[in-house]
Amino acid sequence: MSPRRRVLLVGVLALLVGYLLPGLVQWLLGAVWWRAYEVCQLPVPGLGTVCEAGGEFRALLPPLALLGLVVVAVATLWGAARWCLRPVRDLAEPVTHVGPQNLGYRIRPRGRDELARLARAIDDMMERITAGYEGQRRFAANASHELRTPLAVQRTLIEVGMARTLTGEQLELLTAQLLQTNERNERLIEGLLALSESDQGLRSSTPQRLDEIAAGVLAAYADRATEAGVTVASRLAPRVVMGERVLLERLVTNLVENGIKYNRPGGRLTVTVDGAPALTVANTGQVVPTEAVAGLFEPFRRLARDRTNSGGGAGLGLAIARSITQAHDGVIAARPGEDGGLRVDVQLPGPH
């Protein structure tokens, strides 16, 4: 029986008791607690016998009877309340035992009453918790894998250097390879720290000129674009957004860096700042399947499956961009470009 029906039933019973209780109390007062009698005096000349009505409470029995009645009423109300709330107690019992070892537990209620809606809300909450827990677990596993690969390379190079005497040319090559793997580790750790900071939300939110931020990032990456043979075009209209400048710079930097890194010689990179969307970064390059676009925003997810040949990236650029956008209450979306590559649109709220 649902809690609503239980409460309704108890309410009806309470009304009946309330209707019958006054008569019961009156009967107890008249028949049990009070003993009536008459007191007659000796005959008085001219008046006859004079009698007066009287009565008295029966010593200890009436107070004990009243106390017993109160105790019974309180116990009945207490039992009725527990009976009404029993479905909630039965629901809470299994939920208290849910933990990382049994995140797959679901209540799967039947019916449409309040308790069923509560149970369905708990199931939905468990789905979100499970998804977040599994995402964190995959993230930790992928991070471990990403760190293990260059560390294994470093260990091998060091063992080779210790195992034999190297010529100057071999030593120079070994040093260069160690420096390259160490730089990759630094980029990975820096990306992990940036992702963690953006997930913590904004420390402050002030009006920022997004067009000026984009212009500064493009100026910083002009030489790299020239070295990669990528032509950069920009259309930067004045645009003010609310946010934190450091994170917005990181957002634009990641998108521009990806647009150059995963481009082709002779390709193009177009950066637009306008009203809606606030920021658009589009590049040419490898054709991106539509079904693979959503996965590119996951940490360590790349279009190329070879982890050791990814242009020096850690696969965190778009994941960080998404986290920063969400921290600014914005929306980021991507779709394949018309000439290959990717187009990324970022919606950001302006000042109120």
pLDDT at site 282? 94
User: Between 144 and 162, where is the model more confident?
Assistant: 162
SS3 content of the chain, % helix, strand, coil (to 5): 60, 15, 25
How does pLDDT run across 37-80, given as a tens digit for each residue?
555 665 656 555 656 655 555 544 455 666 666 677 778 777 77
pLDDT above 90 (res 185):
no
How does pLDDT run across 135-150, given as a tens digit for each residue?
677 767 766 766 776 7
pLDDT at site 53? 59
Q: How far apart are CA 281 and CA 346, in angstroms?
A: 9
pLDDT at site 128? 83
Rounded average pLDDT over 19-46:
58
pLDDT at site 59? 47
Contacts of residue 152, defined as CB under 8 A and 6 or more positions apart, other chains included, come to: none
User: Between 117 and 223, where is the model more confident?
Assistant: 223
How does pLDDT run across 305-342, given as a tens digit for each residue?
443 344 555 677 888 888 889 888 899 999 998 888 99
User: Between 1 and 88, where is the model more confident?
Assistant: 88
User: Between 278 and 340, where is the model more confident?
Assistant: 278
pLDDT at site 291? 87
Long-range contacts of 70-74 (CB under 8 A, 24+ apart): none
Phi then psi for 222, rounded to 5 degrees? -65, -45
Average model confidence (pLDDT) for the chain?
78
> Could you tell me what percent of the chain has a pLDDT over 70?
72
Pairing of strands 268-273, 231-236: parallel
User: Between 243 and 32, where is the model more confident?
Assistant: 243
pLDDT at site 122? 86
Q: How far apart are CA 202 and CA 214, in angstroms?
A: 20
Q: Residue 82 has which token pair?
A: 């527990």
How does pLDDT run across 70-107, given as a tens digit for each residue?
677 778 777 777 777 777 777 777 777 777 777 788 88
pLDDT above 50 (res 114):
yes
Band the pLDDT of 4: cuts 50, 70, 90: low
Burial of 85: CB neighbours in 10 Å, binned 0-12, 13-18, 19+: middle
pLDDT at site 333? 93
Cα within 13 Å of Cα(320), Cβ side: 29
How does pLDDT run across 228-274, given as a tens digit for each residue?
999 999 999 999 999 888 889 989 998 999 999 989 999 999 999 99
Q: How far apart are CA 91 and CA 94, in angstroms?
A: 6
pLDDT above 90 (res 211):
yes
User: Between 283 and 96, where is the model more confident?
Assistant: 283
pLDDT above 80 (res 221):
yes
